[in-house]
Amino acid sequence: MSTFQDFKIKKQLVNALQDLGIDKPTPIQEQAYSPILAGRDFVGIAQTGTGKTFAYLLPILQELKYSEQPQPRVLILVPTRELVIQTVQEIEKLTPYINVRVEGVYGGTNINTQKKAVAKGLDIIVGTPQRLYDLALTNVLRLHSIKKLIIDEVDIMLDFGYKTQLRNIFSYLPKKRQNILLSATMTTYVDELIDGFLTNPLRVTISISGTPLDTISQEAYAVPNFYTKANLLNHLLQDTEKYQKVLIFVRSRANADRLYETLDFQQEASVIHSNKTQNHRSHSIENFVDGRSRILIATDVISRGIDIDKIDTVVSFDVPFYPENYIHRIGRTGRAKQQGRSMLLFTEKERPLKEAIEALMNYQIPLTDFPEEVKKSSQLIPEETDKPVVQEDGPSHMVNDSDIVIGASFHEKSAKNSKVNAKRKSYADQMKEKFKKPIRRGDKIQNLRAKRKKK
**DSSP secondary structure, 180-239, as one string:** EEEESS--HHHHHHHHHH-SS-EEEE-PPTT--GGGEEEEEEE-SSHHHHHHHHHHHTT-
Distance between CA 186 and CA 344 in Å, rounded? Answer: 19
| Closest distance to ligand AMP from the beta carbon of 32 (Å) | 11
| Closest distance to ligand AMP from the beta carbon of 28 (Å) | 8
Q: Judged by CB, which is closer to ligand AMP: 10, or 142?
A: 10
CB-based contact 287:408 (threshold 8 Å): no
Q: Judged by CB, which is closer to ligand AMP: 54, or 321?
A: 54
Q: Judged by CB, which is closer to ligand AMP: 24, or 434?
A: 24
Greatest CA span in the chain, whole angstroms? Answer: 74
Residue 110 CB contacts under 8 Å (≥ 6 apart), including other chains: none
Ramachandran region, residue 439 (left: φ > 0; alpha: ψ -120 to 50; beta: rest) = beta
From residue 6, give the alpha-carbon distance in Å to each of 55, 71, 95, 204, 301.
15, 32, 20, 20, 36
Q: Judged by CB, which is closer to ligand AMP: 90, or 358?
A: 90
Closest CA to 178 of 5, 32, 13, 4: 32
| Closest distance to ligand AMP from the beta carbon of 304 (Å) | 13
| Closest distance to ligand AMP from the beta carbon of 46 (Å) | 7
Q: Is the dihedral of CA 250, 256, 261, 267 positive or negative?
A: positive
| Closest distance to ligand AMP from the beta carbon of 361 (Å) | 23
Closest CA to 203 of 327, 50, 429, 44: 44
Residues forming contacts to ligand AMP in the complex (CB under 6 A) are 22, 24-26, 29, 48-54
Closest CA to 155 of 80, 211, 210, 86: 80
Q: Judged by CB, which is closer to ligand AMP: 76, or 365?
A: 76
Q: Judged by CB, which is closer to ligand AMP: 84, or 398?
A: 84
| Closest distance to ligand AMP from the beta carbon of 327 (Å) | 17
Tell me if residue 336 falls in helix, strand or coil.
helix
| Closest distance to ligand AMP from the beta carbon of 303 (Å) | 18
| Closest distance to ligand AMP from the beta carbon of 265 (Å) | 35
Q: Judged by CB, which is closer to ligand AMP: 146, or 184?
A: 184
Helices (H), 7-51: 11-20, 27-37
Q: Judged by CB, which is closer to ligand AMP: 29, or 188?
A: 29
DSSP label at 84? H
Q: Judged by CB, which is closer to ligand AMP: 93, or 449?
A: 93
Distance between CA 187 and CA 196 in Å, rounded? Answer: 14
| Closest distance to ligand AMP from the beta carbon of 19 (Å) | 11
Residue 137 CB contacts under 8 Å (≥ 6 apart), including other chains: none
CB-based contact 222:355 (threshold 8 Å): no
